[in-house]
């Protein structure tokens, strides 16, 4: 485990800081002006657009409002820029040009860090797949027969991926419970979260090109926290035979900071033992998961945030590299800015479940918040926040929060649902 790299930005050296010099996650910010690229360091953001204009950094599209140009340049450029930034911010190396490009994080606005090209969501949490299979289908055959052989996924919506802090309205949809004769259209009453990690594709692949697991790993630029908000009542009625559609299309929240693979490298860990040998195109090639502590808090309007789940990214069955290799295996082209959701990260015990559906076992149990309020699913005004970090020796690699507050459903203009 490497040591903390000390920075002249003092707040970056605090053991609890999510953004020490070892991290350097990328994002997009504005300070009452045009959005441009940045890295987070301690309590500050460093304006990469300004450093590029000043000739301190080479031209990698840092003055644009998205990381895509830089992400598309690949491993060599990512490594060079990381080394350069590490030297610029290292203790003892303070210069006026770099000090002038720092902004207090509390005074800036963070934006969606990259243009999301396409969004695919996987299902790689074994406990989650088991729990959902038991609740929605047959507890005796909870895990689908293909599940141990390939990372199952569905194509989601990129258009509605939003950055942490974006509030949105409760979705409307078709609802039909088991006791109802006919469906009706109305606000979802079983609004849920899904604790996930998103892998961000940097370098693209061509249509028809096969990629190995190691090539796939090299294509990944970094990772974000991801909340795949889900309307369980819409989902239960609509999902057969083609899978989730409107139930997961209304919003997906990602964190504002993309943590690079380089920052996470010391925290790589093995995938679990395989029950069936995986086929060659997705076989494990070494440690490909990460030891990242994850948690979720829920807060009622004006209430305290209560931790409702604590789990780890290392509980997944498939890595993002295996998912990406599988995704391209038919000849599907992958593009810069593609976002791959890991699947809901539910660990093997109850306090480790990454959705309210599982925590309340289908809405049968309640969750009691620290202020005494109870919940099954999300109510209007509630705020849900994902947090995550990898714990180093005296420092942590944090992701920043991934949060959203639910606003009441938007009724039709005539007041009807």
- Annotated binding-site residue numbers for Mg(2+): 228, 248, 252
Between CA 77 and CA 168 the distance in angstroms is 37
Mark the binding-site residues for Ca(2+), compressed into ranges. 121, 194, 196, 228
Measured from the CB atom, the residue of 129 and 298 that comes closer to ligand LGMQ2O6W is 129
Contact flag: residue 194 with ligand LGMQ2O6W (CB under 6 A): yes
CA–CA distance, 411 with 29 (Å, rounded to integer): 33
The residue among 19 and 123 lying less far from ligand LGMQ2O6W, judged by its C-beta, is: 123
| Nearest-approach distance from CB 229 to Mg ion, in angstroms | 6
3-state secondary structure of 221: strand
Which one of 60, 103, 111, 128 is the catalytic residue? Answer: 128
Q: Which stretch binds Ca ion (CB under 5 A): 68-76, 159-167, 183-191, 193-201?
A: 193-201
Contact window for Mg ion (CB under 5 A) among 8-16, 181-189, 218-226, 251-259: 251-259
CB of 4 to Ca ion, least distance (A): 35
Q: Decide whether 121 or 382 has the Cβ nearer to ligand LGMQ2O6W.
A: 121
Establish whether 128 is a catalytic residue. Answer: yes
> Looking at beta carbons, which residue is closest to ligand LGMQ2O6W?
343
Nearest distance from residue 125's CB to ligand LGMQ2O6W, in Å?
6
Restricting to residues 247-276, name those near ligand LGMQ2O6W by CB under 6 A: 248
For the window 124-143, what string marks contact with ligand LGMQ2O6W as x by the rule CB under 6 A? Answer: -x--x---xx--x-------
If one asks whether residue 375 binds ligand LGMQ2O6W (CB under 6 A), the answer comes out as: no
Q: Which of 121, 192, 217, 338 binds Ca ion (CB under 5 A)?
A: 121
In the complex, least distance from residue 243 CB atom to ligand LGMQ2O6W, rounded to whole angstroms: 7
- Spatial distance between the Cα atoms of 120 and 311, rounded to a whole number of angstroms: 22
Q: Which of 314, 123, 162 is nearest to 252 (CA)?
A: 162
- Considering only residues 222 through 251, tell me which ones interact with Ca ion, judged by CB under 5 A: 228
Q: Contacts with Mg ion in 201-230 (CB under 5 A)? A: 228
Binding part of the chain for Ca ion, among 86-94, 117-125, 129-137, 265-273 by CB under 5 A, reads 117-125
Q: What is the dihedral of CA 231, 237, 239, 240, to 10 degrees?
A: 170
Question: What residue 252 binds from Ca ion, ligand LGMQ2O6W, Mg ion, none (CB within 5 to 8 A, per partner kind)?
Answer: Mg ion
SS3 184: strand
Residues that bind ligand LGMQ2O6W (CB under 6 A): 121, 123, 125, 128, 132-133, 136, 194, 196, 228, 230, 239, 244, 248, 343-344
Task: Report, as residue numbers or ranges, the catalytic residues.
Answer: 128
Residues that bind Mg ion (CB under 5 A): 228, 248, 252
């Amino acid at each position: 485990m490497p040591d903390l790299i000390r920075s002249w930005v003092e707040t970056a050296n605090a053991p609890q800081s999510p953004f020490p010099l070892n991290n350097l996650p990328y994002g997009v910010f504005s300070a009452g002006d045009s959005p441009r690229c940045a890295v987070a360091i301690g309590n500050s953001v460093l304006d990469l657009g300004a450093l590029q204009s000043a000739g301190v950094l080479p031209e990698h599209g840092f003055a644009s409002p998205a990381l895509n140009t830089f992400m598309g340049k690949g491993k060599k450029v990512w490594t060079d820029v990381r080394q350069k930034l590490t030297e610029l911010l290292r203790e003892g190396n303070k210069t006026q040009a770099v000090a002038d490009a720092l902004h207090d994080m509390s005074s800036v606005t963070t934006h969606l860090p990259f243009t999301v090209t396409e969004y695919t969501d996987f299902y790689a949490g074994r406990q989650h797949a088991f729990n959902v299979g038991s609740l929605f289908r047959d507890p005796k055959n909870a895990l689908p027969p293909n599940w141990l052989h390939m990372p199952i996924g569905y194509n989601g919506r990129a258009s509605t991926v939003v950055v942490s802090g974006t509030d949105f309205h409760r979705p409307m949809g078709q609802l039909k419970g088991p006791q109802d004769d006919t469906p009706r259209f109305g606000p979802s009453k079983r609004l849920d979260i899904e604790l996930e990690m998103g892998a961000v594709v940097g370098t693209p692949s061509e249509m028809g090109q096969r990629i190995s697991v190691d090539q796939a790993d090299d294509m990944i630029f970094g990772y974000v926290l991801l909340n795949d908000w889900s309307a369980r009542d819409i989902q239960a009625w609509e999902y057969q035979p083609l899978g989730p559609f409107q139930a997961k299309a209304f919003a997906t929240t990602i964190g504002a900071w993309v943590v690079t693979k380089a920052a996470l490298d010391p925290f790589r860990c093995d995938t679990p033992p395989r029950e069936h040998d995986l086929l060659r195109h997705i076989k494990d090639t070494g440690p490909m998961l990460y030891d990242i502590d994850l948690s979720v808090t829920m807060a009622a309007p004006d209430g305290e945030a209560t931790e409702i789940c604590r789990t780890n990214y290392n509980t997944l069955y498939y890595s993002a590299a295996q998912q990406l290799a599988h995704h391209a295996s038919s000849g599907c082209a992958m593009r810069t800015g593609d976002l791959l959701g890991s699947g809901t990260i539910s660990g093997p015990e109850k306090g480790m479940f990454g959705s309210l559906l599982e925590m309340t076992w289908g809405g049968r149990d309640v969750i009691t918040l620290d202020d005494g309020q109870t919940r099954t699913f999300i109510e209007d005004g509630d705020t849900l926040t994902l947090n995550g970090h990898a714990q180093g020796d005296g420092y942590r690699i944090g992701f920043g929060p991934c949060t959203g507050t639910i606003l009441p459903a938007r009724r039709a203009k005539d007041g009807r649902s």
